[in-house]
Chains A and B, each alone.
Chain A
Amino acid sequence: MTQAEIKLCSLLLQEHFGEIVEKIGVHLIRTGSQPLRVIAHDTGTSLDQVKKALCVLIQHNLVIYQVHKRGVVEYEAQCSRVLRMLRYPRYIYTAKTLYSDTGELIVEELLLNGKMTMSAVVKKVADRLTETMEDGKTMDYAEVSNTFVRLADTHFVQRCPWVPATENSDPGPPPPAPILVISEKDMYLVPKLSLIGKGKRRRSSDEDAAGEPKAKRPKHSTDNKEPIPDDGIYWQANLDRFHQHFRDQAIVSAVANRMDQTSSEIVRTMLRMSEITTPSTAPFTQPLSSNEIFRSLPVGYNISKQVLDQYLTLLADDPLEFVGKSGDSGGGMYVINLHKALGSLATATLESVVQERFGSRCARIFRLVLQKKHLEQKQVEDFAMIPAKEAKDMLYKMLSGNFISLQEIPKTPDHAPSRTFYLYTVNILSAARMLLHRCYKSIANLIERRQFETKENKRLLEKSQRVEAIIASMQATGAEEAQLQEIEEMITAPERQQLETLKRNVNKLDASEIQVDETIFLLESYIESTMKRQ
């Protein structure tokens, strides 16, 4: 793992789980697979804390364990999974757009807790939804269950590997760690539960008020004592499926930008039809006939068959090659070239970065070299129609930024420099990797800056929180306007300004993180797709 990735993982773990978990997690990412005692010894933390931290990390699918010979259990961290924590808001928002609030909360609970049983999820989500509903209304468990089943059917949530039920006749001591198994066909099997109930609203007296010691809460003892019907069956969010959805979204919006709305709808239909038949890592989808596509178009679209055929031909002839024609039966068999599409998206990202960083003339040279594959210095000047001095300057700027590389072609076996061609070329894979690395660094910088800003103004933030809490409690007990005014004036005008600035900055930094993560997604998908094909 590169240093940038490790730094970013460290920041993410620290923000979400605290310093102890961060220390253990980063140590594992750095050193690979290690047994428990070695971790404790190397990090200098007590065994108990290491155990707790590992439990947290395993619960969240960030660390896996393996039993090696002689019964030693080794733990390994999954760096790429840690980086996915950046994308949680996007996953939750996607669930909201597809399955509305219920789906959103289900995915949120699963992401926050790593793994949960279905009954636990349903109960929690019902409670949360009930809180937001009007007085007197409650959310029924059945509705939440239905949404959960739909999520499982479309593979957005999946079962975690489980402990196989062993026969009790197994002789000898129990193994040091359970071997978890998963079978493809059972991964989305929803247990038959009859969850009956409604969400409970938390009583307002139970809500926290700062500084109030809480009365003894009535125990949920009855719930704990009942046997959980689906004990041991845990569910987790299926991130790969979400990634597939993001990829489809990116392709559809690319087509919409390049052509028009109708063609993007056609592409969306084709992708939807291939969701289940094509594995997400395939280079292109299964061939679909034009007749099938016509039948599957959304109801609102009433374009004739001929128009559809024309659109498909246009799409297939487009130089971007998102859609390809693979045969003539059934009115024409069409496929979507997933790998090529990802490549085009990655290339477009690179072009855009060059343009914003170096200027539009540099971008012109970059696109030229991309198109012609290999060019000499002189040829670049001629084709781009840019004066020699500037062209040279720009080429070297891009070269030192590693967007462009030099390819040597020797004329003689001794590689003498005077008798060698030096050609400029763009290696998309390595440029994408370089850009990805830069993205990791950027996000790490953004997070650090945000933490710095927050720390600088910590005193002021705490003060404003206290004032808000006081105002809230006074409003609840019915206070006069004048008193509220007085409390509000505890924060002076320049302080208010400072708070405003802080809020704006933090929002900007957060929004930037989310956007950089979108670029990371595109580049990672492209690199993954390319590596799989090699």
Chain B
Amino acid sequence: MAGNKGRGRAAYTFNIEAVGFGRGEKLPDVVLKPPPLFPDTDYKPVPLKAGEGEDYMLALKQELRETMKRMPYYMETPEEKQDIERYSKRYMKVYKEEWIPDWRRLPREMMPRKKCKKGPKSEKAKDTGKGASLANTADVLKKIEELEKRGDGEKSDEENEEKEGSKEKSKEGDEEEDDDAAEQEEYDEEEQEEENDYINSYFEDGDDFGADSDDNMDEATY
């Protein structure tokens, strides 16, 4: 326990000479705030290494950055709806290949699953086989390939809608249909559809016809 706290001048408990300050010398100021965010440097930094290898690595780095953004592993954040739909947005979308992981190497819970549809929606269920086959994305792929091979013409409404719905999402007809994304989007589409007979996919994004002009059937539907 320290005895006398020192009335008057403070006395050091140790020999101040030992740490290099002379007796009675003015001690440096006590620092009362954190160091500055951008401190001044006394010396300028050494220039960067320059050479063939460094240049090549720099170019590689920048290329890799761009390439990564285009790979299917880059998950875009879904944007909020903008107030004005830009016409050019439709044509500036980046078309990515889809990627299907090897499900054998992953835990079973990773596979996307569809919640079972209840009530009238289940009647609208596009195929009877859809519920089961969706658990296995490979089946979905085969099914869609079959559908496309069948060509235009006599298709049932449901198949048409499924095909068009998935075509909507990948307009340019990528070889591989999406796995999760399409299912998710298809699912959302089904979720959102009202209980009427209009097929949502007839109206593309950016066309604000359908919502307003149900009464006025002069406009052609596509």
- Chain A residues in the interface with B (C-beta under 8 A): 15-21, 36, 48-49, 51-56, 58-60, 65, 67, 73, 88-90, 92-93, 96, 108, 112-114, 163, 174, 176-178, 180, 208, 210-217, 219-221, 224, 232, 234, 356-359, 377, 388, 392, 395, 416-418, 420, 422, 507-508, 510-515
CB 8 Å contact bits of B105-140 with A (1 = contact, 0 = none):
111111110000000000000000000000000000
Per-residue CB contact flags for chain B residues 32-49 toward chain A (1 = under 8 Å, else 0) read: 000000000111011011
Contact sample, A vs B, 27 pairs, CB 8 Å cutoff: A17-B75, A49-B75, A51-B112, A55-B110, A56-B73, A58-B106, A73-B107, A88-B61, A93-B57, A96-B56, A112-B68, A163-B104, A177-B106, A177-B108, A213-B172, A232-B102, A357-B41, A358-B42, A359-B43, A377-B18, A392-B20, A418-B13, A507-B58, A508-B48, A512-B48, A514-B61, A515-B49
| Residue numbers in A under 8 Å from B171 (CB-CB) | 213
Q: Is the CB of A213 within 8 A of B91?
A: yes
Query: A176 to B107, Cβ gap below 8 A?
Result: yes
Contacts A73-B109, A359-B43, A417-B15 known; list 10 others, CB within 8 Å.
A18-B74, A18-B75, A18-B76, A51-B180, A53-B75, A88-B64, A417-B14, A418-B13, A507-B58, A513-B61
Contact of A59 among B18, B49, B73, B173 (CB under 8 A): B73
Contact digits for B151-195, partner A, Cβ 8 Å, 1 yes 0 no: 000000000000000000001111110001000100000000000
Closest approach, in angstroms, between the C-beta of B184 and any C-beta of chain A?
Answer: 6
Min CB gap B94→A, angstroms: 9
**Chain B residues positioned under 8 Å from A214 (CB to CB):** 95, 172
Chain B 55-79, CB within 8 Å of chain A: the 1/0 string?
0111011101101100101111100
> Does B6 touch A at the CB level, under 8 Å?
no
Given contacts A93-B53, A356-B43, A417-B14, contact A510 B180 (CB under 8 A): no
Q: Mark B13-31, 1 if CB is under 8 A from A, else 0.
A: 1110011110000000000
A17 & B57 in contact (Cβ 8 Å cutoff): no
Measured between beta carbons, the chain A residues less than 8 angstroms from B91 are 211-213
Q: Give Cα distance in the complex from A49 to B112, angstroms.
A: 10
Q: Which residues of A contact B110 (CB under 8 A)?
A: 51, 54-55
* Known contacts A163-B104, A178-B105, A507-B58, A422 near B19 by CB under 8 Å: yes
Q: Which residues of A contact B18 (CB under 8 A)?
A: 377, 417-418, 422
A90 touching B20, Cβ below 8 Å: no
Other-chain contact of A510, B58, B102, B107 (Cβ < 8 Å): B58
**Contacts A19-B77, A177-B108 hold; do A89 and B61 have CB atoms under 8 A apart?**
yes
Of chain B, the residue at the smallest CB distance from A360 is B43
Whether the Cβ atoms of A52 and B175 lie closer than 8 Å is: no
How close is A50's CB to chain B, nearest CB, in angstroms?
10
Q: Are A180 and B105 in contact (CB under 8 A)?
A: yes
- In the complex, residue of chain B having the shortest beta-carbon distance to the beta carbon of A36: B109
B92 at interface, CB cutoff 8 A:
yes
Q: Assess whether B54 is interfacial by the CB under 8 Å rule.
A: yes
